[in-house]
Amino acid sequence: MKGLGEYLEEGPQTTHSPDVGTTVRNRGVLKKLLVIPVILASAFLLHHSVDTSTFRPFRHVGDDDLCVQASPLFPDLHDNLWTELQRDLEAKEFKEKVVEWLSGAIQVPTEMFDDMGPVDQDPRWKNRKLFHEYLVQAFPLIHSNQHITLQKVNTYGLLYTWEGSEAALKPIVMAAHQDVVPVNSETIDEWTYPPYSGHFDGERIWGRGANDDKSGLIGIFTAVETLLSRSFVPARTIIFPFGFDEEGGGFQGAKELGKVLVDIYGEDSFAFVIDEGGGFAEQFGRQFATPGIAEKGSLTVQLNIATPGGHSSVPPDHTSIGILSRLLVEFENNPFDVALSRSSPLYAQLQCFAQHASTLSPALKNTIKRSISSDKALEELEKEVFKTRLWKAMSGTTQAIDVIHGGVKSNALPEQASSSDVETHDTRILTPLAESFNLTFSAFGKLVSEGGPSSGKLDLESLSTRQPLEPAPVTPLDSTAFQLLSGTIRSTFATHRGLFHGDSEDDEEKSVVVAPGMPTGNTDTRFYWKLSRNIFRYKHHHSESSAHTVNEFIEVDSYLEMIRFYLTLILNTDEARDI
């Protein structure tokens, strides 16, 4: 039986530089300090970021209340339009156009590299302009509609505004990003089709960005273009911010877009924000959709060791490499304490498994249910959950080390430590060893201990290019926005599979269950926190995806379902008056 952790998205991959041993062999160099940089990425959690008075995932009354599901939500006022759109989605011509739009977008490489400079200096940004030109050519209705305006932010950030007819309604944000991760030139021969061909084989669209995230951006635009072709005019304003460097952290794209949106609309001015993120997958015999309601924080620090050089034939008792190795072992021998909390998204997800999963063992179901009121049962559940590495990673602070120049984004649940707590932890771990090696030790700009005049230095500091990221605010599950999203997910899933044409138990057992989730990585929403209390990381796709890999693809049937979701979400939101 698969555990929950097997269904989680893989975290960021570490890129390793050449072996440290080849870097530090400096034979014959006297009185020269040898500096060995080490990147240590520690995830951190904010102890009081979860307000348990409002973060009550579900009412704990009986077994049937562990994970109450919203009813599938279908448009009412727009019922006739929605019905027409369902026919569009089934048409051969529509499928061909959908494939053409996404394939064309894939054919414009918009790779994001870690070392890219400012947009006005680095020529590698210019392919974004080509992508903009493609959008104008592919979606003429969007770019000619009198109710839609485009503002470019920091040259390549796209901010589309679809003005609604009722100004009193809070607008919504539907986000995506233009950029893709690079294709390793050494893997070109491993691709079934060229990575920027956008090849369609009759079932799948292949290429870099097919999954992450041009399918999201083009899927949103496909929904909008289709609605415009039906003369739809929204009552509620919709904002489409499309960043251009999400794969590099979003510092030049989404960060600037977020500032502009706050300047124009003010804080907490949007009904909700939705961006890429979780999807749905079969878990324990049932389909579960897991929209992300939180994101982990991260802190990346750099450890520098400087000791006098010399000839290796007359070595000191402890070389820089030896000291460094001892320091790294100390970190790994002193991980953060991890605990399963009743107020965490993972715990709420476990409750959904207990109520709705068909193949979850009765014993584990019973433990989950008993843990609601029994601390002993909670401890039993924690032991079971932490047998899976990724489950454990979702429940506490993690840390990872890359000995050379790589940076690992390690993340954790927002309720255990702040960035300053992690700095204190790292400092405490290294202080005794620095003293034992007689090193002058400075941590985060402060002198911790002073060593001998010729023993060397140890510096621990935040990596200047990666500022501490505090955990994201947790989206409340009792909000009408979450209920609207959940109902839309359920109606989309059911409609695409022909369910709910009757009230049969068989249809209900085949339906999707919506449970709170938390992506393992950060999205562009890290710069949109001020816009709304309701932030969702969800793209209606099958979670077992091919993002960031060789042979990235998306199945056209899955892509059509994603477009169906965007269409239904826009119409459902347009009718809502209580969000």
- Residues annotated catalytic, as ranges: 179, 246
Q: Is 275 annotated as a binding residue?
A: yes
User: At residue 143, what are phi and psi to the nearest 5 degrees?
Assistant: -90, 5
Q: Is the dihedral of CA 409, 411, 414, 418 positive or negative?
A: negative
Distance CA 472, CA 411 (A): 11
Beta 272-283 vs 535-542: how paired, if at all? parallel
160 membership: H or E segment, kind and range = strand 157-162
- Residue pair 467/298 in contact (Cβ under 8 Å)? The answer is no
Q: Is 212 annotated as a binding residue?
A: yes
Q: Which residues have CB under 8 Å from 39's CB, separation 6+?
A: 300, 301, 302, 303, 401, 402, 404, 405, 406, 407, 408, 463
Residue type at 567 in one-letter notation: L
Is 114 annotated as contributing to ligand binding? no
CA–CA gap between residue 211 and residue 196 (Å, rounded) = 13
Of the candidates 9, 82, 6, the one whose C-alpha atom is nearest the C-alpha of residue 538 is 9
How big is the CA angle at 208 (ends 206 and 209), to the nearest 5 degrees?
100
88 is in an annotated binding site: no
* Integer CA distances (angstroms), 532 to 150, 249, 474, 579, in order: 22, 20, 11, 11
> Is the distance from CB of 309 to CB of 30 less than 8 angstroms?
yes
Residue 247 is assigned to a ligand binding site? yes
**Measuring CA to CA, which residue among 233, 257, 71, 251 is closest to residue 159?**
257
Query: Which amino acid, 450?
Result: E
CA distance 534 to 369: 28
Inter-CA distances, 386 with 4, 389, 398, 480, Å: 11, 6, 13, 33
Binding residues for Zn(2+): 177, 212, 247, 275, 548
Binding residues: 177, 212, 247, 275, 548
